[in-house]
Amino acid sequence: MESAIKAIEAVKKKERSVLEITSSFLDKIKKEDGKVKAFLEIFESSAIAKAKDIDERISSGKSVGELAGAVIAIKDNILYKGHEITCASKILKGHISAYNATVVSKLLEKDAVIIGRTNMDEFAMGSSCENSAWQKTHNPINNEFVPGGSSGGSAAAVKAGFCHIAYGSDTGGSIRQPASFCGVWGMKPTYGRVSRYGLVAFASSLDQIGPIATNAQDLLLGYKAVKGFDANDSTSIDKEDEKKQFSSLKGMTVAIPSGLSKHDGLESDMAEIFSSLPEKLMDAGIKVIEVDFKSFKYALPAYYILASSEASSNLARFDGFRYGMSLNTGNLNESYMKNRGEGFGPEVKRRILLGTHSLSSGYYDAYYLKAQRVRNFIAREFDEVFSKAEIILAPTSPTAAFKFGERMKDPLSMYLSDIFTIPVNMAGICSLSFPYGKRKSDNMPYGLQIMAPHLSDEFMIKVAGELSCAL
């Protein structure tokens, strides 16, 4: 598939029109998405109208935005004014966005074409895209396997060649894990680097919007297009990226976690691939240090207490009276119970119950405050490691993609898919996943995760681009 950068260059040289590029993606989606089911809705009319407008401005000699020629997909929890948004949940069926997310506004201002909204796990809660109320997205590599989650639709859309770049949200690995499962690149920026305004909140202190692409150059393009301060987001960072410049892999120091094993759910093929990594890094002139990370052990339980607690609060607004579906029985309490009981799926209910319990009187200190202390510990541990190394490398997920239904009856095994990605969200640092190795039995891809300090996002992408070629 042609990259976004090449498409943009072709438009600049007037070798291709934006309408031609957009129409080719629309045709491909119509022919092939019936099997993949990456999209919940195609924005055909608005996409064509946008493409024609850009072409008309080009033909009349007017200036156009830097993304003219790029075709973008957005996850179904990012608001696009005038278009339906459901977060893949029945409770939001029929709700139309009243305004644009800041990310969407930036993309449109730069003349990207937004082609549709992608499927996801309901309210971004899941690791397989099986929790959507509407459909199950299939992994384009092999339709018997899940694409990962919760941004599974976005990762599948990129892998299937339905768009150049797709945006998802990452609360505990929901961009990086599906990127790993689908064999593409996915990034979780530094917390606060990309505005969350217009992103339907799951866990506000952990959520971050980020891009998914087929290569490092498009990933960098997708990140730079949406980064920056936003006064509408109280957690937005009002400063530029650190001036850390990448020059060469030689002389860099890389930290890798020691002692990873099947006890972390690590598949034998991934363990074998990861065990050979230090030697390859040293052959590339990189110094390697091994670190006994406590974060991987403690982050998972602490995360599910904190994220579920925030979800319990954030999802309280969805009662069937203000947004989407409404099943009014004439009795207020009965209506609340019916709307939320029928509107939310089982995983969302599970996390609301867990969060409400953690915040309740008598349990707040024992669970929520203790989890916050663990979060502080994780941040300190990362700071300590980054005082010795520029980046950290770890598996993105312990396994490659699993088949549909394998983990739906065991939520804990599903949660373990994010054991290596969750610490990043807890610390608020940046991270990305790129394809690295395959499972021998079925050639399903693995992902290697690179982690970097706060506001080292562009440095991290450039390092990852070089590493992907060197390893």
Catalytic residues: 75, 150, 174
Distance CA 392, CA 470 (A): 16
- 116 near 73, Cβ under 8 Å? yes
DSSP 214-236: SSHHHHHHHHHHHBS--TT-TT-
- 102 near 233, Cβ under 8 Å? yes
Q: Sheet with 253-257: list strands edge to edge.
A: 39-42, 113-118, 71-75, 165-169, 209-213, 185-188, 430-438, 445-452, 391-395, 253-257, 287-291
Write out 248-291 in H/E/C secondary structure.
Answer: CCCCCEEEEECCCCHHHCCCHHHHHHHHCHHHHHHHCCCEEEEE
The SS3 assignment for 322 reads coil
Distance CA 151, CA 75 (A): 7
- 145 near 404, Cβ under 8 Å? yes
Crossing angle for the helix pair 457-470 and 216-226, nearest 10 degrees? 170
Instruction: Give the H or E element holding residue 182.
Output: helix 176-182
Distance CA 34, CA 301 (A): 37
- 110 near 71, Cβ under 8 Å? no
Crossing angle for the helix pair 216-226 and 102-109, nearest 10 degrees? 110
Q: What is the CA radius of gyration of the chain?
A: 21
The SS3 assignment for 447 reads strand
Cα dihedral sign, 107-112-115-119: negative
Distance CA 304, CA 381 (A): 20
**Structure-block tokens of residue 181:** 């499962």
